[in-house]
Amino acid sequence: MPMSARFPLICVIGLFVCGQTACNLVPAQAVRQSQFRSMQLYQQKQAVAMERDQASQLASSLASQKQQLEQRSASMQSQLDTANHRLNNLNAERTQLQQRYVSLLNRARNQPNPLSEADTQRFLDLMNKYPNFEFDPQTGVSKFHSDVVFASGSAQLKNSAKPLLQDLAAIMKQGDAQRLNILVVGHTDDKPIVKRNTKSKHPTNWHLSTNRAASVLLALAKFGIKENRMGAAGYSSFQPVVPNKNEQSRQQNRRVEIYVLAPDAVVARWDPWMNRN
């Protein structure tokens, strides 16, 4: 073949080969890109699925915690309602007992003297013997000022007060007085307790009034009166005989009262039939 004819043929063959190669290169690259993109989408899908599962688990856990908190809240509310109900019942019961006690104590104050004429005369002789001792022959109520029996802020009996209580106990252990009962009631003035030493033993006037009544009761028991014949109470500063205007009036209000009660008198749930030997 002449040289001039070979050159065009070679060019045609070269163009054909180059065209075939270009056509094969384009689809292969696109496939690889598509595969890479598919892999990215798959990984993203897996990550999203994992996040969705984690979110679902977190939501489930939060829902469970919420339910537990709601149950605990309901339980605590129920306990609180129960406690409030019990507290209301106790307050109502305390109010009823206080009203009953005040009513019965007032009845004790207003009852006629249960002492016989002979025992009444013995109490009158006792009043003449001890100037600071008072006795009402109409009601049978005795009283003495706390300053005579106790040191300031103390519930410990003075030695000078013991002969009076011993003589009183002797009257209650003889004759018709042996069948009678005793209620000891303590009273204070309106000054609050502030001294540290006193406050450690008697935090309030309530404590001081009741502790003083108890001291008198225990002294009477020591002098021979059976304890099942006696009771003790305290009114703090809330039953003054005169307004607390000055030290003289306050001294009158600081007192211990002794009520002599008939055998059938019932004071503060005191059932005399339960105390018989």
pLDDT digits (tens, 9 = 90+) for 9-63: 444 444 444 445 444 545 777 777 877 778 888 888 888 888 888 888 888 888 8
What are the beta bridge partners of residue 134? 143
Check residue 153 and give left, alpha or beta (phi > 0: left; psi -120 to 50: alpha): left
- Range of lowest pLDDT (73-77, 163-167, 177-181, 204-208): 73-77
Structure confidence by residue, pLDDT tens digits, 228-274: 999 999 999 999 999 999 999 999 999 999 999 888 765 544 444 54
User: Which of 13-27, 150-164, 205-219, 241-255 shows the lowest mean pLDDT across its residues?
Assistant: 13-27
For residue 101, give every residue at least 6 positions away whose Cβ sits within 8 Å of its Cβ, in sequence order, or none. 233, 267, 268
DSSP string, 64-83: HHHHHHHHHHHHHHHHHHHH
The position carrying tokens 């003083």 is: 212
Cα(254)–Cα(205) distance, rounded to whole angstroms? Answer: 11
- Dihedral sign (CA 141, 270, 211, 103): negative
Tokens of 236: 């703090």
pLDDT at 96 over 60: yes
The token pair at 25 is 């290169």
Cβ–Cβ < 8 Å for 202, 153: yes
Q: Name the token pair of 198.
A: 């006193």
Average pLDDT for residues 123-145, to the nearest whole number?
91
The pLDDT score that the predictor gives to residue 49 is 83
DSSP state of 203: S
- pLDDT score at 103: 60
pLDDT at residue number 7: 47
Phi, psi of 143 (to 5 degrees): -160, 155
Token pair listed for 251 = 């001294």
